[in-house]
Amino acid sequence: MHELVVQGGTVVTPLSVTSADIGIDGGTIRAIGPGLAGERTIDAGGKLVFPGVIDAHTHMALPVAGTRSCDDFHTGTVAAACGGVTTIIDFTVGTQETTIPDEIERRLNEVAEAVVDVALHGEVIGWEPGAEEEFAEAVRRGVTSFKFYTAYEDSGRRTSPAVMKRAFEILADLGAGALVHCEDEGLIRSIADSLAPTELAEMATLAIARPDLCEGAAVTQVGRLAEETGCPTHIVHVSSALGLAAVREARSRGARLTAETCPQYLVLTAESYDRMDGHLFAASPALRTDADQRALWKGLRRQEIDLIATDHCPFTREQKTWRGSFTDLPYGLPGVETLLPLVYSEGVGKGLLHLPDVPRLLSEGPARVYGLYPRKGAIEVGADADLVVFDPDETWEIDPNELHMRTDFSPYEGWTVTGRVTTTLLRGDVIFADGEISAERGRGRFLFREVGVNRV
């Protein structure tokens, strides 16, 4: 007799789709099979059961462009739970004046509000050779992945190729990994210098100012550094066919490269900027073309892209008020709550993905890339009982007023999607069911990660 049994559902993993019960004891999966008995049961008849979703790229309470992303670790993880996300990986907020270990400790105070489990990436800002101990100390504190930028030099976030190479060498020696925002700073600057004031005043110019060439060139350079140093390196938010081609080319040379894309690059295009409210869609990288979308979906099917994450960085309409130029906007879109429904509806529902691709890209993929597998991202005996019961037949309209993210708009507002989360379990406890959140503030745990586990 198990403490809890999820009964009668169709259990979906990257390798199988099968009818089975899941027995849970002490927050852990203890049995998978037919006819399990439990002191308590959850009826999953007619529904799909996925491993808990891992959103490996979120930005809660992030300072951006004179404001702050409007979800904190409480509101953002409440929204996550309502969308079937049981783990997020967020970032420290680096500065020129503080160390990575200092920022880990500061961020942990904010993480304590979360209702789902949280791991952290270390943001690398202003690091210079000679401070190698920062990475070692961060690893001792359970942070094993470190974010670099090839752009945003004006804000001090860009790391030069020479410094990045040295950092990659250190991380490779530690058994840790890097993740990189890839846009070529030199190309961005040269394009910006050529734009007339009237062009800066057009939202649609964003796609011209940060084109796919910027992404492709930066991925190529980072791929070379990964190849030379042996550092496991992850390319975040790949948005274009050119960027994906650069990932493939780097892998063919032996670089230990993984990659992600985001729902916005799969289902939105730069035509969104032509809308009256096109400024709400400001994000970096910019939205692309239908051809880029097709290339990304194909990359997902061919397993050239390892995971889908949201880059959840929400702002309100007021925060995104148009001030005369796309350069004055905070970049970022909300998405943590709509990740699973969109991937299912737009991917599986339209024949672009197979059903097992969903847990591969949203659960096992991020868990393997970031050293959480098989504790997270798996429906296996011994794994945390992080589960999502999902109704594949429910059709509903995305309404920001009915979502739980703190923003007052959604880039997918008015879209009709098929498939909806009915129940979310975190470590065996129901934290969301039938439209109601039940997790207490602070229910989530910080996930301490060890080096040398899984792919990054």
pLDDT tens digit string along 309-356? 999 999 999 999 999 999 999 999 999 999 999 999 999 999 999 999
Rounded to whole angstroms, the Cα distance separating 280 from 348 reads 28
Per-residue pLDDT for 455 more than 80? no
CATH code, domain carrying 301: 3.20.20.140
Q: Would 455 be classed as within a structural domain?
A: no
Q: Would 28 be classed as within a structural domain?
A: no
pTM, rounded to two decimals: 0.98
- Check residue 52 and report its DSSP letter: P
Q: Residue 456 — very low, low, confident or very high, per pLDDT cuts 50/70/90?
A: very low
Rounded to whole angstroms, the Cα distance separating 81 from 72 reads 14
Q: Are residues 104 and 94 in contact, defined by beta-carbon separation less than 8 angstroms?
A: no
Q: Read off the pLDDT of residues 238-264 as tens digits, 9 standing for 90 and up.
A: 999 999 999 999 999 999 999 999 999
Q: Read off the pLDDT of residues 194-203 as tens digits, 9 standing for 90 and up.
A: 999 999 999 9
Q: Are residues 225 and 253 in contact, defined by beta-carbon separation less than 8 angstroms?
A: no
**Dihedral sign for Cα atoms in the order 151, 155, 339, 365:** positive
Q: Would 44 be classed as within a structural domain?
A: no
Q: Read off the pLDDT of residues 405-433 as tens digits, 9 standing for 90 and up.
A: 999 999 999 999 999 999 999 999 999 99
Burial 140-178 (b: 16+ CB within 10 A, else e): ebbbbbbbbbbbeeeeebbbeeebbbbbbbbbbebebbb
Please report the pLDDT score of residue 454 as a whole number: 57
Q: Would 381 be classed as within a structural domain?
A: no
Residue entry with tokens 């032996």:
254
Q: Read off the pLDDT of residues 42-72 as tens digits, 9 standing for 90 and up.
A: 999 999 999 999 999 999 999 988 899 999 9
Across the range 158-177, mean pLDDT stands at 98
Q: Would 423 be classed as within a structural domain?
A: no
- Check residue 218 and report its DSSP letter: H
Domain region containing 112 = 52-369
Number of domains in the chain: 1
Q: Would 293 be classed as within a structural domain?
A: yes
Per-residue pLDDT for 1 more than 90? yes
Across the range 15-30, mean pLDDT stands at 98
Q: Would 433 be classed as within a structural domain?
A: no
Rounded to whole angstroms, the Cα distance separating 417 from 385 reads 27
Q: Would 453 be classed as within a structural domain?
A: no
Q: Are strands 28-33 and 17-25 parallel, antiparallel or unpaired?
A: antiparallel
Across the range 76-101, mean pLDDT stands at 97
Residue 71, burial from CB neighbour count under 10 angstroms (0-12, 13-18, 19+): buried
Q: Read off the pLDDT of residues 116-151 as tens digits, 9 standing for 90 and up.
A: 999 999 999 999 999 999 999 999 999 999 999 999
Please report the pLDDT score of residue 452 as a whole number: 77
Taking every pair of C-alpha atoms in the chain, what is the biggest distance, in angstroms? 71
Q: In the predicted model, what is the mean pLDDT of the chain?
A: 97
H/E segment holding residue 425: strand 416-426
